[in-house]
Homo-oligomer: A and B are copies of this chain.
Amino acid sequence: MTLDNIKEEIEKAENIVILTHESPDGDAIGSSLAMYQALKQLGKNPDLVIPEHPRTFDFLPCANEIKKAGRDINYDLAIALDCADTKRLDGFENWYHEAKVKISIDHHGSNTMYADYNYVDPVAPACSQILIIVLTSMGIEINKDIGECLLAGIITDTGGFKYEGVTTETFEFVASLLRIGVNVSEIYKKVLQVKTRAHFELTKIAIDRMEFFEDGKIAFTYITLKDIEDTKAESGDHEGLVEIGRDLEGVEVSILLRETEKGYKASLRSKEYVNVSEICSIFSGGGHQRAAGCTIPYALDQAKEKIIDRTKTFLK
């Protein structure tokens, strides 16, 4: 049983490194911080390595113990969380590949089963929700601090308890956190509700530029490097922009192009039936059925035309 193997490998290991995907979101950070504290509870002294992450999650317990780099050793054990593919360990590869044993815990359907032990549940709405089972099987007490980290992950990846993936366990877990005194509303506010002024300015720009195609089934907008500069936006400030289009009546697919140094990053969201992960895989990207992304290394007009043309073929 993978869960038994995971428990055993963790017990055996002295030097452990915890890693997660690049451009980490709340589920990546929340699940990593929860695992970090769980290992501390077992008397281990793990390294949690995340080179860059949005400051939104700095309020979480132990966030100040996140390291920007690992140690110059071969770790006994590397645990990759919320990461579908080793390619997404951009900036962490060496600590992962040189570790003696590798564990992956994840909820992406596209997970490539790259580790020695893979505990992957594509039905779970968040990697953090899988950790409830994993940590419990390791005999960890899910205290208030660990609970807050897992909650931040679940809130992020369920869009605040609203996506299709939510389960009985999601809500039972939140009830149990309220029972031990976790301020669910406070965590919700910090993770999803409170927006920066830069986010507000980007929202204004994205809404003003929004266009609709195919009888309003496709919503399209974009953000340039100049917008990012003008609004002094930081990592994470563009989160949520692509959902504005998706949440409109009649829209099936919402597309946001965001200029980066490497070309335009496309974020796609769908409402009911289009598998946007398939569209993104055409451009060597991926993700989930209703939320996916890819990079299109072209100028704005071409990138826009390419992604919209492909999307059209997926509409009913």
Q: Once the chains bind, are A193 and B250 in contact (CB under 8 Å)?
A: no
Chain B hits for A204, CB < 8 A: 207-208
Which residue of B has the minimal Cβ distance to A184?
B166
From A246, which residue of chain B is reached at the shortest CB distance? B193
Known: A168-B175, A178-B168. A194 touches B249 (CB 8 A): yes
Quote the shortest CB–CB distance from A204 to chain B (angstroms).
5
For window 137-153 of A, CB contacts with B under 8 Å fall at none
Does A200 count as interface, using CB distance less than 8 angstroms?
Answer: yes
Is there an interface contact between A168 and B162, defined as CB atoms closer than 8 Å? no
Bits for A174-193, please: 1 = Cβ < 8 Å to B, else 0: 11001100001100110011
Task: Say yes or no: A160-B163 contact (C-beta < 8 A), given A172-B172, A194-B249, A248-B195.
Answer: no
**Among candidates B164, B167, B175, B197, residue contacting A248 with C-beta atoms closer than 8 Å:** B197
Assess A171 versus B175: contact at CB under 8 Å? Given A195-B247, A195-B248, A247-B195. Answer: yes
Q: How many angstroms between the C-alpha atoms of A249 and B175 in the bound complex?
A: 28
| A162-B160 in contact given A168-B178, A172-B172, A194-B247 (Cβ < 8 Å) | yes
Q: Please give, as numbers and ranges, the residues of chain B lying within 8 Å of A260 by CB-CB distance.
A: none
Interface check A2, CB cutoff 8 A: no
Copy number in this complex? 2
Whether A161 is near chain B, meaning CB under 8 Å from some CB there, is yes
Contacts of A128 in B (CB 8 A): none
Given contacts A171-B178, A194-B249, A247-B193, contact A185 B164 (CB under 8 A): yes
Q: Which of A19-77 contact B (CB under 8 A)?
A: none
- A244: chain B residues within 8 A (beta carbon): 200
Contacts of A163 in B (CB 8 A): 185
- Chain A residues 190 to 223 lying within 8 A of chain B, measured CB to CB, are 192-197, 200, 203-204, 207-208, 216
| Option from B178, B188, B193, B200 in Cβ contact (under 8 Å) with A167 | B178
A242, chain B: closest CB distance, angstroms: 14
Q: CB-CB < 8 A to A248: which residues of B?
A: 194-197, 200
Determine whether the beta carbon of A197 is less than 8 Å from that of B247: no
Residues of B within 8 A of A184 (CB): 161, 166
- Whole-angstrom CA separation of A165 from B185 in the bound complex: 8
